Amino acid sequence: MNAKKHRIAFFGSDEIALPFLGGLREAGVEVSAALTQPDRRSGRGRKLKSNPIKQWAIESGIPCRDPQKPSSEETEWLKSLEIELIIVMAYGHILQRDLLEVASLGCFNLHASLLPAYRGASPIETALASGERETGVTLMRVVPRMDAGPMVDAERVLIAGEDTGPTLRGKIGLSCVPLIERNLDSLLAGRSVEKPQDETQVTYCRKLTKADGLMDFRVPAQLLVHRIQAFRSWPGVSFPFGELRIRVGKSSVGDLALLPGEVACDREGNFSIGTGQGALVVHELQKPGGKTLPARDFLRGFAIPDGTILESEPMPDLLVCGKSNSKA
């Protein structure tokens, strides 16, 4: 990559972008400016904390701004820095046309799916929860429609059977490195080849909510396993028991014949819950505020009797219809 003489800006807020930003530095490519989300309160103490991209910019000595919402001030700031190329990944803000047009070479997004599938806010977790066996990252030009711009290139990522939301995010982050390596020179030369998306194949995923952690035992066990793996980090998957919600960890599919929601332990002590197809074998459980424990250890101190019928809670659809403005 030969980009030392070019002025590049990065827009992003999530640590998923750190691998490719590190790859740029190792290749001698300097980022001239960064836009990111403002500090948020987090943790038990609710202290203000900078996101990983802001921390990276500060540590790297890169000029950085973190407005609540990008405005004309940021547009003029980028113009004053003579930014030529903008690369975006997981920024989380709607990009207005004047901001998209700041850079003479354009604004390009690294979207964490194989477009046109899984446009929107949660492509990694939704692909995993939907049982996909492959996903990836698409390099695309940003236009004023959500993830609808023409595509430059893509890097494919296999989804392993043991992948969770966090491990798949790690794979996606690493896959951005070769994708940018292949394409940065052509982007900076203004000669990248762009291909329009097939609008007949578009799907949209929405922002995740706490309701995505509900469990409907009337669906197949395999679908529940996918959701448990996808939402491991947040919101977590749980079921109500008395006044508590019991969080489910590592799980697999078994063949006990049980009614949907029916609880049973087999001769080996495995904890199973009946579903609409097969049984959900739960290997880990967690009480609110407690540690995740192997199911056998958990049940020694917290009994869930055989034959109990757990309540099924309808799970919201992860894919949505409709279109929106550009949000990178």
- 326 within a domain of the structure (yes/no): no
- Mark out the alpha helices in the chain (DSSP H runs): 18-26, 52-60, 72-80, 97-100, 123-129, 165-189, 221-230, 295-301
pLDDT at 266: 78
> Is there a single domain that holds both residue 160 and residue 258?
no
pLDDT at 5: 75
> Is there a single domain that holds both residue 36 and residue 142?
yes
Q: Which two tokens stand for residue 177?
A: 């490195």
> Is there a single domain that holds both residue 194 and residue 291?
no
Give Cα separations from 101 to 9, 86, 244, 292, 315 (angstroms): 13, 10, 52, 49, 41
Q: What is the DSSP letter of 220?
A: B
pLDDT digits (tens, 9 = 90+) for 280-327: 999 999 999 999 999 999 999 999 999 999 999 999 999 987 554 445
Is there a contact between 135 and 172 (Cβ–Cβ < 8 Å)? yes
> Is there a single domain that holds both residue 221 and residue 181?
no
Which residue in 100, 39, 30, 33 sits closest to 68, CA to CA?
Answer: 39
Q: Which two tokens stand for residue 125?
A: 């977790």
Which of the two residues, 27 and 171, has the higher pLDDT score? 171
The Cα–Cα gap between 312 and 328 comes to 35
pLDDT at 324: 47
The residue count of the chain comes to 328
Burial 292-305 (b: 16+ CB within 10 A, else e): ebbbeebbeeeebe
Number of domains the chain contains: 2
Instruction: State the DSSP H helix or E strand holding residue 70, giving kind and residue range, or none if neither.
Output: none
> Is there a single domain that holds both residue 162 and residue 19?
yes
> Is there a single domain that holds both residue 293 and residue 236?
yes
CATH of the domain at 158: 3.40.50.170
> Is there a single domain that holds both residue 219 and residue 246?
yes
The Cα–Cα gap between 233 and 236 comes to 6
Give Cα separations from 224 to 13, 110, 263, 298 (angstroms): 30, 29, 15, 20
The Cα–Cα gap between 30 and 4 comes to 6
Domain range enclosing 275: 215-301
Which residue in 289, 295, 286, 241 sits closest to 268, CA to CA?
Answer: 295
pLDDT digits (tens, 9 = 90+) for 236-275: 999 999 999 999 999 999 999 999 999 999 777 789 999 9
> Is there a single domain that holds both residue 118 and residue 25?
yes
93 confidence band (pLDDT: 50, 70, 90)? confident
> Is there a single domain that holds both residue 19 and residue 129?
yes
Is there a contact between 87 and 192 (Cβ–Cβ < 8 Å)? no
Beta bridge partners of 156: 136
328 confidence band (pLDDT: 50, 70, 90)? low
Does a cis peptide bond (omega within 30 degrees of 0) precede residue 196?
no
Which residue in 111, 123, 102 sits closest to 147, CA to CA?
Answer: 111
Whether residue 3 is predicted with pLDDT greater than 60 in this model: the reply is no
Whether residue 18 is predicted with pLDDT greater than 90 in this model: the reply is yes
> Is there a single domain that holds both residue 80 and residue 48?
yes
pLDDT at 80: 97
Q: Which two tokens stand for residue 90?
A: 């997981």
pLDDT digits (tens, 9 = 90+) for 188-228: 999 999 999 999 999 999 999 999 999 999 999 999 999 99
The residue type at 191: R
pLDDT at 41: 86
- Burial category of 238 from C-beta neighbours within 10 Å (exposed 0-12, middle 13-18, buried 19 and up): buried
Mean per-residue pLDDT for 65-80?
96
Which residue in 258, 250, 252 sits closest to 312, CA to CA?
Answer: 258
The residue type at 307: G
> Is there a single domain that holds both residue 14 and residue 128?
yes
- Whole-model pTM? 0.93
pLDDT at 326: 47
> Is there a single domain that holds both residue 138 and residue 259?
no
Instruction: State the DSSP H helix or E strand holding residue 155, giving kind and residue range, or none if neither.
Output: strand 151-158
